[in-house]
Amino acid sequence: MARVFSGIQPTGQLHVGNYLGAIRNWVAVQAEHDCVFSIVDLHAMTIPYDPAELPQRVLATAATLIGCGIDPERSILYVQSHVREHSELCWILNCITPLGSLQRMTQFKDKAKQHQENVNAGLLNYPILQAADILLYKAALVPVGEDQVQHLELSRDLARRFNHLFGETFPEPQALLTRAARVMALNDPTRKMSKSIPGSFVALTAPPEEIQGLIRRAVTDTGPRGESMSPGVANLFTLLESFSAPETVAQFREAYEQGALRYVDLKQQLAEDMVRALTPIRERYTELMSRQDELKELLAYGADRARAIARDTMEEVRDKTGLVLGTSAAAPTAARAT
């Protein structure tokens, strides 16, 4: 059974882009695969953040994931920094990563532009830690959104490089994409939906009025209607396909083809179906957040299970990379004298 690994940053407020691009697939593969899902707090430290808020963001992320249907008994759900082996493997992979391949990463270039006052080494090395996450569990499948495909290529590259230098150890992980692998920003459909663009996203825990307002304000056509569907309308159709019944989608598509589609109707239907789909997630989230001790216990249980796998991998990695001194070495004189 191929192992699945994926990670998510503890933004605290996950959005429908995260859900449609990744989490929905995590829930789907749980039934048939051995899954490991990580809340990647070490990755979140690469941009400015408030240490006092991080623990609540981590717990809110865990509650949302469980609210979406991640089963912490069946799958391993844990916090990245609670398993120290991530940092250790990250260092070893650092030593076999060409600098040029990091500088070419589009996410690095974007974030470096966005946080010009703090272009730290963590931001550059971010994809190496991501590779360490995946390889530590020898995962073969990685369900992610399209924006992570380039990082996944580096992970494959590092697996190959490590195997070549030190002997066959890691499988080359494959990305697993959904049909909505790139959900666009509601207020600017030329960019991807992102927590860092206010007004661009619908949080999975947003109340109905907020969802309705965001969809109502979503950009459709900016100029006169052209030959092909505008990015804003295409994005609304992607959302409709994800949240509404196939007959409903077919009806709206037909109206569009005939030039009879009223965007206000499309938006109203989408908002209604989104509210219906997200309400149970919000309710489970709210309930779990009122029982934080239980959440912490679940995450500690997940970390124990993750650590057991991570330790085995690191034992093998240490051995293959020459970090184990071996048992046949003579004891030092001082030790022998006592």
Site residues for ligand TYM per CB under 6 A: 5-9, 17-18, 20-22, 40, 43, 130, 133-134, 142, 144-145, 147-148, 151, 181-183, 192-193
Which residue number, 233 or 259, has a Cβ lying nearer to ligand TYM? 233
Closest residue by Cα to residue 35 from 67, 9, 65: 65
User: What's the Rg (C-alpha) of the chain?
Assistant: 23
Question: In angstroms, what is the minimal distance from the CB of 33 to ligand TYM?
Answer: 14
Question: In angstroms, what is the minimal distance from the CB of 282 to ligand TYM?
Answer: 19
Cα torsion 247, 229, 182, 284 to 10°: value is: -40
Which residue number, 35 or 271, has a Cβ lying nearer to ligand TYM? 35
Amino acid at 62: A
d(CA 174, CA 182): 18
The one catalytic residue in 109, 111, 113, 320 is: 111
Question: In angstroms, what is the minimal distance from the CB of 228 to ligand TYM?
Answer: 21
Question: In angstroms, what is the minimal distance from the CB of 284 to ligand TYM?
Answer: 19
The one catalytic residue in 109, 113, 195, 320 is: 195
The one catalytic residue in 192, 267, 296, 320 is: 192
Which residue number, 8 or 225, has a Cβ lying nearer to ligand TYM? 8
Other CB atoms within 10 Å distance of the CB of residue 335: 8
Q: How many helices (H) and strands (E) does the chain have?
A: 15, 5
Q: Is 111 a catalytic residue?
A: yes
Cβ atoms 206, 195 nearer than 8 A: no
When CB distances to ligand TYM are compared, the closest residue is 21
Which residue number, 130 or 212, has a Cβ lying nearer to ligand TYM? 130
d(CA 290, CA 97): 43
d(CA 269, CA 249): 10
The residues that are catalytic are 111, 192, 195
